Amino acid sequence: MRLPAFFAVFNSKETRKALEEKTAEFSRSLSLCKATVELTAEGLLVTDRVGRVLYHNQFYLEMWPIPEEFMDNMSHQAIVQYGSSQLKEPQRFLHATEEIYHAWPPESLDLLQFNDCRIFERYTKAKVLEGQNMVRVWSLRNITERREADAYKAQLAAIVESSNDAIIVQDLNGIITSWNAGAEGLFGYRASEVIGSSVEILIPPDLREEEGDIMCLIKSGRRADHFETVRWGKGRKPIDVSVTISAMKDRAGNIIGASKIVRDITQRKESQERIEYLAHYDSLTGLPNRTLLSDRLRIAIENARRYSIRLALLFVDIDRFKLVNDSLGHEIGDKLLKAVAQRMQSTVRQADTVSRVGGDEFVVLLSRIETATDAARSAEKLITSISQPYQIEEHELLLTASIGISIYPDNGKDASSLTRNADAAMYSAKGQGRNRYQFYSEDLTYAAAERLRLEHDLRGALSRDEIFPLYQPQIELATGRVIGVEALMRWNRAGQGLISPASFIPVAEDSGLILALGEYILRKACLQARQWHEHQGFQGTIAVNVSAVQFRQNDFTDVVLRVLSETGFPPECLELEVTESVVMQGLESVVQKMGILESHGIKLAIDDFGTGYSSLSYLRQFAIDRLKIDQSFVRDLPGDADAQAIIRAIVAMGRSLGLRVMAEGVETEAQARFLQDIECTESQGYLYARPMKSNDFEAWLKTRN
């Protein structure tokens, strides 16, 4: 670097000394000036009016970089040309520099962006020195870090402002100093309403101590990262939130406040509560489910053991509920179940538990009883309550329930045995006619196990060819003529022999197996009767029993018509027998199905008539051809006056409606004569023949003819 030179002429000793002092002072000032310029964080360059370099510091050389030896012979224009290749926009840089020399503005400011991503701020200012000499000072400052910091701050501010989460900054006194749009959306306050206010406006009073403890952790430098709590929105609306909190520090590392990220977790909490609810409560009725019942039963047993008290478990099954679903649909069925659940809850004590453990199965836990009589009394109340009429939309429905009861510790000392034994007792109640309760006994355990084995064997009975029909003739009383034959389902259980229909038909109905078994017997009977029509000269009807479960199926009529089509059997020679309970449930659906069957010529009979609740007004609505008097009334003829009166009334009712009347279970000539005397026209029973296999019936028929 070139330094200015000067010459002096000394005229005297005093003058020389003064001049030396001035020279020394000038040197000191010059050295100080030079040191100051060299130590500055800016690159400095001084040029004259035409661009000659008058001065530069070291930082200016390092910025480009330019070797120092080049500076002695280079003009500013050459330096600019040399350094432009290092910039992202060299032409703009060259043009701007040329314009400055041309226009010679008092000052100018622009940015230089280097290819290596450095950013410099170039500032230039014109200066007039003594003697009218004009120079220009060029200052270059590296602002890369500042620009990056500004960009980071801008980006951070944008992120904070655009965040869906509430981001709140408060000082150590709890005064809110920053509030983003997410906070406004969550809490309902604008920034202008809360900045400068205490954060306590967001905190319910009972949680302010908790907030104070957390801030103490922050002030002490310990972590209080994440927690879930409740905060108040505008209008003191409670909001479930999660809070992530961290300390705010100044450049010296001193804690000056806290920043909080607050997130609304209301939906998550609701989802968790919903999941928790579904895990322990039945979604339809709102009753405790099997899981919650197990927990409560376990606790109740522990208390009963500790305090030597008794408890009872009642297993409640709604009788024939499947008929409602099949005839009226699941929507009506669901509404009915909800009504049943409400009644059961209102019947038991508040301390007891009513739970739904299956489709139409409920369990009642009586957490404390004195004697078994208390459990019986509760069961009676439940049966009475459940049996009251239900009005579901336009339907008035009647239900009954079967209840099995087990007592702790008499019938079991753990949840599993108590539940199993109450279930067994419930099946016993069903077997005894339903609409009743039954206590557990040891015999019921064997009966329940046998029922399971029975169902298991029944599932494979068709494939093993164990199901078959027997045929019992139907007789015209006046002439003794064979007018029809009834096909009766039988099961020859492997290793067990013939099983009573009273034993396996209810199992088949409860398990749904009756659908396949019933269709099989119908098909078998139609094929057999067609053969008799074609080769034996028998032209009577073939009667087939239809289970209530079968008749309630939506496609029942389609199944019957398909079987007739596939077997080629004439519809007018088929008679389907249904019980009174079938026609008394779901009136509209029953009438529709009966109308379809009648339109194809198929006959319908009501079996076991007199055991149900049919009335004359109901019977008039159905397409019925025959009434079959239940054998329980025929058994006591002719000596029993009550039996005589009932049968006379049934025969008179049938005749008034233009129906044929048949008596079942006729075993003696005296019974047959009485029936004929009161104008009952048809009969069926052991007096004529027991149910027979097809070849035996053919032989019997030849003898009969």
pLDDT digits (tens, 9 = 90+) for 56-109: 888 888 888 887 777 777 788 888 888 888 999 999 999 998 998 888 899 999
Helical (H) or strand (E) element with 452: helix 442-459
Same domain, 320 and 436: yes
Same domain, 571 and 466: yes
Same domain, 223 and 302: no
For 653-667, the three-class secondary structure string (H helix, E strand, C coil) is HHHHCCCEEEEECCC
Domain range for 568 is 460-704
Distances (CA, A) of 150 to 142, 145, 159, 161, 259: 14, 8, 14, 16, 20
pLDDT digits (tens, 9 = 90+) for 144-166: 877 766 665 666 565 555 567 88
pLDDT digits (tens, 9 = 90+) for 525-580: 999 999 999 888 888 999 999 988 888 888 999 999 999 999 999 999 999 999 87
Q: What is the pLDDT of residue 476?
A: 94
pLDDT digits (tens, 9 = 90+) for 297-351: 999 999 999 999 999 999 999 988 888 887 888 899 999 999 999 999 999 998 9
Among residues 110, 143, 176, the one where a domain terminates is 143
Same domain, 477 and 565: yes
The more confidently predicted of residues 490 and 13 is: 490
Residue located via tokens 């969550």: 186
Reduced to 3 states (helix: H, G, I; strand: E, B; else coil), residue 602 is coil
Q: What is the pLDDT of residue 154?
A: 60
Same domain, 678 and 580: yes
- Average pLDDT of the chain? 85
- Residue 413 gets which letter from DSSP? S
How far, in Å, CA of 258 to CA of 148, rounded? 25
Q: Considering the domain boundaries, does residue 15 fall inside one?
A: no
Kindly report the CATH number assigned to the domain that includes residue 226.
3.30.450.20
For 114-135, the three-class secondary structure string (H helix, E strand, C coil) is ECCCCEEEEEEEEEECHHHCEE
Q: What is the pLDDT of residue 523?
A: 95
Q: What is the pLDDT of residue 26?
A: 46
Q: Considering the domain boundaries, does residue 157 fall inside one?
A: no
Kindly report the CATH number assigned to the domain that includes residue 389.
3.30.70.270
Structural contact between residues 542 and 502, judged by C-beta atoms closer than 8 angstroms: no
Same domain, 120 and 237: no
Among residues 225, 246, 270, the one where a domain terminates is 270
Same domain, 563 and 543: yes
Burial class (CB in 10 A: 0-12, 13-18, 19+), 382: buried
Q: What is the pLDDT of residue 668?
A: 93
Same domain, 354 and 294: yes
From 476, 690, 694, 486, select the one nearest 577 (Cα to Cα): 486
For 137-192, the three-class secondary structure string (H helix, E strand, C coil) is EEEEEECHHHHHHHHHHHHHHHHHHHCCCEEEEEECCCEEEEECHHHHHHHCCCHH
How far, in Å, CA of 202 to CA of 232, rounded? 5
How far, in Å, CA of 96 to CA of 105, rounded? 12
Q: What is the pLDDT of residue 677?
A: 93
Structural contact between residues 344 and 316, judged by C-beta atoms closer than 8 angstroms: yes
Query: CB count, 10 Å around CB of 318?
Result: 20
- Name the band, by pLDDT with cuts 50, 70 and 90, for residue 634: very high
Same domain, 367 and 492: no
- Residue 41 gets which letter from DSSP? S
Q: Considering the domain boundaries, does residue 8 fall inside one?
A: no
Same domain, 545 and 647: yes
Q: Considering the domain boundaries, does residue 452 fall inside one?
A: no
Q: Considering the domain boundaries, does residue 586 fall inside one?
A: yes
Q: Which two tokens stand for residue 28?
A: 């000191």
Query: CB count, 10 Å around CB of 152?
Result: 10
Has residue 522 got a pLDDT over 90?
yes
Chain centroid to CA 241: how far? Answer: 24
Q: How many domains is the chain partitioned into structurally?
A: 4
pLDDT digits (tens, 9 = 90+) for 422-451: 999 998 888 888 898 999 986 766 776 787
Per DSSP bridges, beta strands 626-629 and 603-609 are parallel
Same domain, 647 and 614: yes
Q: DSSP characters for 625-682?
A: -EEEE-HHHHTTTTT-HHHHHHHHHHHHHHHHTT-EEEEE---SHHHHHHHHHTT--E
Same domain, 253 and 361: no
Q: Considering the domain boundaries, does residue 368 fall inside one?
A: yes
